[in-house]
């Protein structure tokens, strides 16, 4: 999805949850102007009211389809030429991708290509000094190691389509065709012209289909039942599947090889993730920005007493109660039964009708 710039004329998409929800703050079929852009968040002033509100790119469309024509900046022309080198970078990595956790290559502004030496993770991206970061235009990274046991193809493609097009990390990816990238290229191209911690988080997230593939399976099941991708992804990070593949139980993912801190995030952080609204972004990677602070991206109004682990267990109990798991004695006060698992259909229904992380 093409990034917008300050001054662009826009309107709220019909598919957005904000469409027409408030005549002044979120008007339907009314033009406005982008007045500020911070990371992936766009501040828009609406013509009818002068009200300024904040949106993710997925919530906005160009007014009457009029995409502004922009003359390429000098540095943009250089980067467009360097994209041709991305194929060379991918080919240089391919032959060694199958048995490593991470395989990626840096594409420098000079046209130089350097394949990473650390095959365990994307830590090399963190370790470069500020001067070297400023000389990097793109990073290509593996998304298909060629191992069937990593993840079913359709599950992986669904996950990567969300990651590169609809997730809070979508602006990182130059590649936008998930199916072609997964089945043919095996790699995606990432720009260095984004907040450094967002870039690092996105790179870590590309490893989900082989490091934490349960997330991808649960996410696809929830999306197939109408839950939006961002919410479905968080649910996949909090719940695991049983042997039947349809019953979900608490199984919180996390750690140094994970793009989110599910043990540290609060409900405010979860809502920020769902709304594509990072709370903390570092300077751009190609401006020397530090890539540390990946987990802080979604620490919004953090409540140190709050526990997502406890919250999801309580939520499953609420789902169970709504499905009739209460005392049958009409003279007894209804009592919720502790639920440790729930069917994916029931969970999706509850999320769609009553919400989650609210």
| The two structure tokens encoding residue 44 | 């828009």
Q: What is the mean pLDDT of residues 162-174?
A: 92
Per-residue pLDDT, 172? 92
Per-residue pLDDT, 295? 81
Count CB atoms within 10 A of the CB of residue 171. 22
DSSP-derived secondary structure for 136-182: EEEEEEES--S-TTT--HHHHHHHHHHHHHTSTTGGGBS---HHHII
pLDDT-based confidence at 220, cuts 50/70/90? very high
For the chain, the 3-state helix, strand and coil shares in percent, each to the nearest 5, are: 40, 15, 45
Q: Are 230 and 168 in contact (CB under 8 A)?
A: yes
pLDDT tens readout for residues 237-293:
999 888 788 888 888 777 678 888 888 788 888 888 998 888 888 888 998 888 677
pLDDT tens readout for residues 109-136:
888 888 886 677 888 888 888 899 999 9
The helix-helix angle for 153-165 and 213-224 (nearest 10°) equals 80
- DSSP element (H, E) containing 35: strand 32-38
pLDDT tens readout for residues 313-332:
888 888 876 554 433 344 44
Give this prediction's pTM.
0.73
pLDDT tens readout for residues 7-24:
999 999 988 889 999 999
- DSSP element (H, E) containing 240: strand 239-241
Q: Is the pLDDT reported for residue 156 higher than 50?
A: yes
Per-residue pLDDT, 112? 85
CA distances for 299 relative to 203, 244, 262, 271, angstroms: 19, 34, 10, 10
For the ranges 107-121, 151-165, 194-208, the lowest mean pLDDT is seen at 107-121
User: Please, is 10 exposed, middle or buried when counting C-beta atoms within 10 Å of its C-beta (0-12, 13-18, 19+)?
Assistant: buried
> Domains of the chain (ranges plus CATH)?
9-65 (2.30.30), 74-211 (no CATH)
């Amino acid at each position: 999805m093409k990034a917008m710039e300050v001054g662009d004329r826009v309107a709220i998409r019909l598919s957005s949850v904000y469409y027409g929800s408030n005549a002044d703050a979120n008007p339907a079929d009314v033009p406005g102007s982008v007045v500020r852009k911070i990371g992936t968040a766009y501040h828009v002033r609406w013509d009818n009211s002068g009200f300024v509100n904040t949106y993710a790119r997925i919530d906005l469309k160009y007014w009457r389809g009029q995409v502004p024509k922009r003359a390429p900046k000098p540095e943009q022309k250089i980067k467009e030429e360097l994209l041709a080198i991305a194929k060379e970078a991918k080919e240089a990595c391919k032959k060694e991708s199958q048995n490593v956790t991470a395989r990626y290559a840096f594409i420098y502004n000079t046209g130089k290509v350097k394949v990473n030496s650390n095959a365990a993770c994307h830590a090399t991206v963190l370790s470069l000094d500020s001067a070297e970061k400023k000389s990097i235009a793109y990073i290509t990274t593996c998304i298909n190691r060629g191992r069937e046991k990593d993840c079913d193809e359709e599950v992986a493609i669904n996950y990567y389509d969300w990651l590169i097009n609809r997730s809070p990390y979508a602006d990182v990816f130059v590649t936008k065709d998930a199916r072609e990238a997964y089945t043919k290229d095996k790699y995606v191209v990432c720009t260095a012209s984004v907040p450094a911690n967002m870039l690092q988080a996105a790179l870590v997230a590309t490893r989900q289909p082989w490091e934490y593939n349960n997330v991808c399976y649960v996410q696809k099941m929830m999306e197939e039942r109408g839950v939006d991708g961002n919410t479905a992804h968080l649910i996949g990070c909090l719940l695991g599947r049983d042997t039947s593949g349809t019953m979900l139980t608490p199984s919180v993912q996390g750690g140094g090889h994970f793009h989110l801190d599910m043990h540290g995030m609060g409900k405010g952080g979860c809502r920020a993730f769902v709304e594509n609204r990072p709370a903390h972004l570092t300077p751009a990677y190609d401006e020397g920005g530090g890539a540390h602070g990946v987990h802080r991206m979604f620490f919004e109004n953090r409540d140190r007493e709050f526990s997502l682990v406890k919250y999801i267990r309580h939520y499953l109990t609420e789902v169970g109660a709504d499905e009739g798991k209460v005392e049958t004695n009409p003279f007894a006060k209804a009592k919720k039964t502790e639920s440790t698992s729930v069917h994916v259909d029931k969970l999706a229904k509850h999320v769609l009708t009553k919400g989650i992380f609210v």
